[in-house]
């Protein structure tokens, strides 16, 4: 299986990339981003873009893949709806539309979020924009597409969020992780688990396209 990963420098993307590189069922990984990852592996290739809206010069490098793990995203904190929509909706759809045309047999996995509004409406800005993004992705002619809605994601193996507020949150929550795992395991997944779940989804599929935390945990 050949996989494209968007957002491999982020917290989720780092975990997904780690599992793809470790899994023998994944024979090639193309990491798409703006800056080098700073790691090397025989099956890893990198594609650096100046814009996530224009793929005209990169199309030849994006064909021949079986799956796309789209982990690129930002927190909506402090952002206007227009700025958040540009990254969450415009960037995602620009990539997905090209990939659907070049790889009609592809399975597209989008890391969304718990609480996303499936109707693309509502007062919560991020939930509305995420819902609109999900709906457009599900309408594209992929072989299959899955919208992953994890709740709390615990970073493992030295992975850290690039968002300062999230780093503080994870640091404060760290002492309580054993209790959370024991008493409320359905509320969270780790970066390692999420990477393995995405690989399994790309290989085996799932009965419905939107996966809440409880669905994700069934695939661990």
Domain limits of the chain?
Answer: 2-218
Low-confidence ranges of the chain (pLDDT < 70): 157, 160-187
Distance CA 22, CA 196 (A): 10
Contact in structure between 109 and 146 (CB atoms under 8 Å): yes
| Residue 206, SS3 per DSSP | coil
pLDDT confidence of residue 151: 84
Q: Report the top-level CATH class of 2-218.
A: alpha beta
Contact in structure between 106 and 65 (CB atoms under 8 Å): yes
Report the predicted TM-score, pTM, of the whole model to 2 decimal places: 0.90
pLDDT confidence of residue 181: 60
pLDDT confidence of residue 176: 58
| Residue 174, token pair as written in the block | 């760290």
pLDDT confidence of residue 123: 93
């Amino acid at each position: 299986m050949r996989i494209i990963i968007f957002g491999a420098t982020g917290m989720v993307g780092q975990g997904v990339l780690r599992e793809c590189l470790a899994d023998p069922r994944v024979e090639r990984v193309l990491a798409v981003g703006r800056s080098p990852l700073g790691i090397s592996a025989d099956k890893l290739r990198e594609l650096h873009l100046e814009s996530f809206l224009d793929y005209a010069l990169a199309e030849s490098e994006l064909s021949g893949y079986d799956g796309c793990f789209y982990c690129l995203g930002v927190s909506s904190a402090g952002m206007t709806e227009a700025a958040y929509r540009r990254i969450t909706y415009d960037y995602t759809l620009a990539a997905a539309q090209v990939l659907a045309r070049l790889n009609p047999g592809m399975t597209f996995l989008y890391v969304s979020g718990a609480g996303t509004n499936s109707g693309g409406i509502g007062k919560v800005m991020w939930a509305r924009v995420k819902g609109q993004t999900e709906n457009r992705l599900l309408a594209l002619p992929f072989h299959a597409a899955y919208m992953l809605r994890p709740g709390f994601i615990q970073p493992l193996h030295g992975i850290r969020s690039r968002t300062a507020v999230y780093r503080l949150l994870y640091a404060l929550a760290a002492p309580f992780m054993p209790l959370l795992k024991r008493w409320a395991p359905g509320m969270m997944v780790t970066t390692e688990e999420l990477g393995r779940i995405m690989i399994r989804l790309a290989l085996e599929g799932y009965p419905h396209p939107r996966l809440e935390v409880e669905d994700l945990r069934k695939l661990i």
